[in-house]
Structure 1
């Protein structure tokens, strides 16, 4: 068990889940959410902050600023608190409430952009705000995850070698595409590796990262409303686009087996399983990267009213047959008798307190 003095010194980077028992196809899911920032964004945050410090861009008087839909903002909040920097995160209304509260609990300021572009994107408004802010005061230091090479170098130096060490016979790697830092770092590493690895980018429908029309995207994490400046498609073998409804179903299917993951993970898993079903997975060593866990999505991806309001009442599909519910009694149980023993329940009362199995068919 490590002993640390700063939170960024801890990251569990060698945990994988074999999803075959859940989805029927072998896929090893690399879990990146077990650190104090709760996501893979910790790696990029460390790389960008430490590079800015070495280059003399970031000084004790600096105020860190960044645009983030959530996870990078939390990672930078944690590092800023640890190192004594002030930090301002510029986000938008899609950022989960829990994520905003976490940043504020760590001492950061959060500015929520209200305006959006004609295509429904908030990113342009966030970037415009940051540019204006930085022009107003030289103390503001914008790391710019969208253009900063430290974003992909973190995964070239850490994430990809971790996978290569654990799976020396790797054939296929599925990586979610947001800023494309993780994608580009891993793709560059495996391009130089001793054996060919098929790199498959997983994007959200409505994202324009790889072309196509912009559309509504309500789950933060993956996808962009502009072409990512870090992206070099020559390193990518294939692109899969996943509907948000399929993202949600994958998240809930994992949760029913005890694994609570975030929306980005649901997107990657859904896309990977669809690809493996089409191309066959027998004998193939396939790995997918899970960027974060699901606690920050409890009021969105795992909240029934939010889901039904945006995606319709049938978003989860029919409930699987092995889902159980416990029927609560309609009235309080009888009080104990004066002797301390609870009165004997009649047959009807016993029936009301039994556990019942709900019968229905199909998968989510």
Structure 2
């Protein structure tokens, strides 16, 4: 067994776990370590940054940890503008790793939180033009690290047609995996998972008052999201995603976050619609951040999701509404055949790509 030169290499290495015949969980401890490491290596190899430089970005949590680890690995400084949702555990790790964290003040509106972070990034770049903005939402170098992961998925799950299910978020993980898988084999379907209220696929008109899965959606357009990659989109609300997370732990002993619960729910449904396909869903992080909100008081015998030995399709209480279009979304779960269409109006990322380009340090 090879010895890793740094903990980030081990943390970024995913596990492939077969849950049932045809359903596989691609489980990460911290997924964005994969993209941060590859992005930083690329920047160093091209001379865009040098050891000792400061890397700057905004994060709701997972990417902050990933970038701090990458900077620790390669001798760079790290400055994070963090969401109000960054918890005490992560704050302690960032501080000891040497990363500087500016955390937004608490707000009941995560959309406001996200916009505040973008505004603060612009202020910091004006004060420190020598900083390098990582632009995780805009720069496709964050897709690079997922190519090797896709190769492993292909080698481990080859044989049957493949469906990949994952939270969309910044767009990097699903894009990096899907593009590489489609290079290796034909017939790969990509299913994106979104929270209600996200603008990415035009769901901002349906807010979820209990949303705490902002990491898979956005209140602003992201330039890295290539809408034409996605065959299907699932919007999953908090209550449905929670049921998916609880079922994953109860039935398969996989302790993962709320976005994983949403992807698990969608993956089960897609598997039921196409039994001839292998469905791989992405679990981007562990469930530790969600203990109080999701797991602590969850009923063990939650009937809202099928048991492992039963029909893998969730019961009617959590069957998705099949939408005719983005204007036909219904809580707590809606499915839409996207058919690799272009971005919806106001969701093409043009404004944010302009911001990224205009604010990029030379």
The TM-score normalised by the length of structure 2 is 0.75
User: What is the 5 A alignment of 1:200-349?
Assistant: 200-213=191-204, 215-216=207-208, 217-257=211-251, 258-277=253-272, 279=273, 281-304=274-297, 316=298, 319-320=301-302
CA contact (8 A) 1:220 1:263 kept: no
Give the Å deviation of 1:68.
0.8
Higher helix proportion, which one?
2
Indicate the residue corresponding to 1:32 in structure 2: 28
Q: Report the number of matched residues.
A: 301
Cα 1:297–1:136, aligned 2, differ >3 Å: closer, same or farther?
same
Q: Alpha-carbon deviations, 1:74-117, whole Å to 9, x = none?
A: 11111222333221211121233322332223222211112769
Cα 1:203–1:320, aligned 2, differ >3 Å: closer, same or farther?
closer
Report the 3-state secondary structure (helix = DSSP H, G, I; strand = E; otherwise coil) of the residue aligned with 1:123.
Answer: helix
Cα 1:14–1:82, aligned 2, differ >3 Å: closer, same or farther?
closer
Structure ID, larger Rg:
1
Cα 1:88–1:254, aligned 2, differ >3 Å: closer, same or farther?
same
CA contact (8 A) 2:31 2:284 kept: yes
Structure 2 portions without partners, runs of 5+: 304-316, 319-362
Give the Å deviation of 1:221.
2.3
Give the Å deviation of 1:242.
0.8
Give the Å deviation of 1:70.
0.9
Matched, 1:151 2:142: yes
- Report the Cα distance in structure 2 between the residues aligned to 1:302 and 1:119, rounded to whole angstroms: 22
**1:182 aligned to which of 170, 173, 177:** 173
Indicate the residue corresponding to 2:4 in structure 1: 4
Give the Å deviation of 1:259.
1.9
- Report the Cα distance in structure 2 between the residues aligned to 1:12 and 1:231, rounded to whole angstroms: 22
Report the 3-state secondary structure (helix = DSSP H, G, I; strand = E; otherwise coil) of the residue aligned with 1:144.
Answer: coil
- Report the Cα distance in structure 1 between the residues aligned to 2:14 and 2:127, rounded to whole angstroms: 43
Report the 3-state secondary structure (helix = DSSP H, G, I; strand = E; otherwise coil) of the residue aligned with 1:300.
Answer: helix
| Residue range with higher mean Cα deviation, 122-131 or 107-116 | 107-116
Which structure has more relative contact order (CA 8 Å, sep 6+)? It is: 2
Structure 1 portions without partners, runs of 5+: 34-38, 305-315, 322-362
Indicate the residue corresponding to 2:188 in structure 1: 197
Indicate the residue corresponding to 1:92 in structure 2: 83
Cα 1:119–1:106, aligned 2, differ >3 Å: closer, same or farther?
closer
Report the 3-state secondary structure (helix = DSSP H, G, I; strand = E; otherwise coil) of the residue aligned with 1:224.
Answer: coil
Q: Alpha-carbon deviations, 1:111-131, whole Å to 9, x = none?
A: 111276978342221011011
- Report the Cα distance in structure 1 between the residues aligned to 2:50 and 2:171, rounded to whole angstroms: 28
